[in-house]
Structure 1
Amino acid sequence: MKPVFRSTVLFALFTAFTCGCGGEEIVHTTKGIDEKVSPAEFESFQSIINSLPDKKLPEIPSTLLPRPHWTQERTLPIQDLIRQENDAFEDRWSVELIARQLPINKQFMRALRREQMTPEQFVSLTLTLGAALTADATDERNDLAAIVAAGEQHVTILTADKTAFSSLSDVRAHEILTQAAWLTVVNRAKVLLQVPPENLQLVRKHREWLDAAFPADLTQDPLADLTNVMHERGIPFEEMPESGSDEHIEWSTKTAIIGEISVDAAF
């Protein structure tokens, strides 16, 4: 699954977005997150946002889909739940879906017409620049290709699992959810891997303005809240007094205390 948003033709409604201005015109296209944004395209995008009252990006849904958190009442097979998570992730990066959710106000639409840009093209630039911003904020020590390779091993197992989630024990359900968190890691890392170096240079040059104009989820490290997943967190449990052996250990998501501790703090 690779969220790429590109188009080789202009939308039919593009003809309505003309400014009647002199000088060289920028022919906008619907960008993919793996495509370079030119300085002229960035200036056009920046001009639209700067013309808005608060000089901020219009509100759009967060691109950071949370890790899976299924209740044990879910009767679907695990593979179907994984498929649903993938579909939900793709929706968060869908140019068409996001464009339909943009606020409709005269000032914003006037700015689009002035720059000869459609709502879809504006959204694609937003996502392309946002992906570059998050890539720039990502811990450079992360080997993204290795992370994807490791995560896909877990995801492959889950996509073949036809077990109904509701049939699992508490312990097994927790194991599956821990494993399913790798899907979130893989999807976010794949976005980062698509960002071209030219876009990284562009957002670094304009970082201060972008940080002020963009929402936090498009400026921060998208893997920061998944560190425990990438470091293979263990499954916590509590030994019951009457158990006497590991065979009788009981564990429940309702009573477990789940957290993290740094190595430095432990020693």
Structure 2
Amino acid sequence: MVNMNRILSHFRDSMIFYSLSLISFCFNVSCSDNSLDYTELKQINEKVTESELKKYLKVIRLLPQKKVPPFPSVYAPAPNWSHIRSLPIEDLVNSEQINLSQLWEIERISDHFGNRNRTLKKALHRREMSKDQFISITLAIGLAASRHQLREDQNLEAIMQKGNKVIHQLQLDKRPFSSLSLEERHRTLNEAMWIARVNRAEHLIQIPPENVNLVRTHWDELKEVLPPEFLKNPLEDLLDPLEEHGIPFTIDEIDSNDRLQWTSTEAIIGTDPPDPRLDKIK
């Protein structure tokens, strides 16, 4: 009987210990997701304050490389559809737009950023910042840095307006891409480049001027820590020389006048009398 009581007592103590351990585990798990007092993410159209930037840079200074770890790209390249794609052009365009919009999702970036980087996790924990918050500020500051690189003649509203017209025409094209001739495919891909241009412009135009000024003020430090794709003109790799500058006109200066041919039969000769005002100018 004594042994039975001991067994029951031991069993009761074990159950109590197990229950307390389970409660403690559940409490820790629930608290781990809510350990930060402030978990709101920074939107790209929101102002980044000096204090937020300072906290962000403190995280980076704790990292071995003193810069943002490899960051998933948000700037998609121009479409390069294979000549064997049999989908209609309108479907290819719509699919491309969906894929580009997904590149900007915090969840998608988080899945591919810093998952095995213990140093980053420690730095974020030390500065009381979540990984998603770090990503959102990187996007806000990075896009401001990108906009800082734009040329004065690169008007985002004009790019969006022109690009949307071209994209709309592509969305009306029901021809299978594989049915196009080589010249038509080249022209279509050249026009499809506007999908990437407009996507970038739509995000860049949301950046508050205050964020651009903040980047300009701290440029010497930010250019050393931000991902490389934010440190160059975001539209540079999507430029079309003909679109930008037109068809260049060149002529060989050596004996160039000798190559000009003129015949009276092909010349257009005016019959109006000379303007008397020209004599006064002389």
* TM bin (shorter chain): 0.7 to 0.9
| TM-score (normalizing by structure 1) | 0.76
- Are 2:72 and 2:113, in contact at CA under 8 Å, matched by a contact in 1? no
Does 2:84 correspond to 1:82? no
Bigger radius of gyration, 1 or 2? 2
Counterpart of 1:94?
A: 105
Counterpart of 1:157?
A: 169
Report the identity percentage: 36
Does 2:139 correspond to 1:120? no
Paired with 1:156 and 1:63, the residues of 2 have a C-alpha distance of 23
Of 184, 191, 208 in structure 1, the residue corresponding to residue 196 of structure 2 is 184
Superposed CA deviations along residues 65-114 of structure 1, whole A, max 9, x for unmatched, are: 11011111111111221122222222322111111112223221111112
Moved beyond 3 Å, runs of 4+:
261-267
- Structure 1 stretches lacking a partner, 5+ long: 1-11, 19-26, 235-260
- Are 1:14 and 1:118, in contact at CA under 8 Å, matched by a contact in 2? no
Counterpart of 2:208?
A: 196
- Are 1:28 and 1:116, in contact at CA under 8 Å, matched by a contact in 2? no
Aligned-pair RMSD on alpha carbons?
A: 2.4
Cα–Cα, structure 1 residues 167 and 114, in superposed 2: closer, same or farther, change >3 Å? same
Paired with 2:145 and 2:252, the residues of 1 have a C-alpha distance of 34
- Residue 266 of structure 1: how far off its partner (Å): 9.3
- Residue 229 of structure 1: how far off its partner (Å): 6.5
Cα–Cα, structure 1 residues 134 and 113, in superposed 2: closer, same or farther, change >3 Å? same
More helix by share: 2
Counterpart of 2:263?
A: none
Counterpart of 2:44?
A: 33
Superposition map of 1:212-231 within 5 A: 212-228=224-240, 231=243
Cα–Cα, structure 1 residues 211 and 262, in superposed 2: closer, same or farther, change >3 Å? farther
Counterpart of 1:239?
A: none
- Are 1:17 and 1:112, in contact at CA under 8 Å, matched by a contact in 2? no
Q: How many residues matched?
A: 222
- Structure 2 stretches lacking a partner, 5+ long: 1-30, 254-282
**Letter aligned with residue 181 of structure 2:** S
Counterpart of 2:180?
A: 168
Cα–Cα, structure 1 residues 163 and 30, in superposed 2: closer, same or farther, change >3 Å? same
- Residue 38 of structure 1: how far off its partner (Å): 1.0
Q: Secondary structure at the match of 1:34?
A: coil
Does 2:155 correspond to 1:143? yes
| TM-score (normalizing by structure 2) | 0.72
**Letter aligned with residue 216 of structure 2:** R
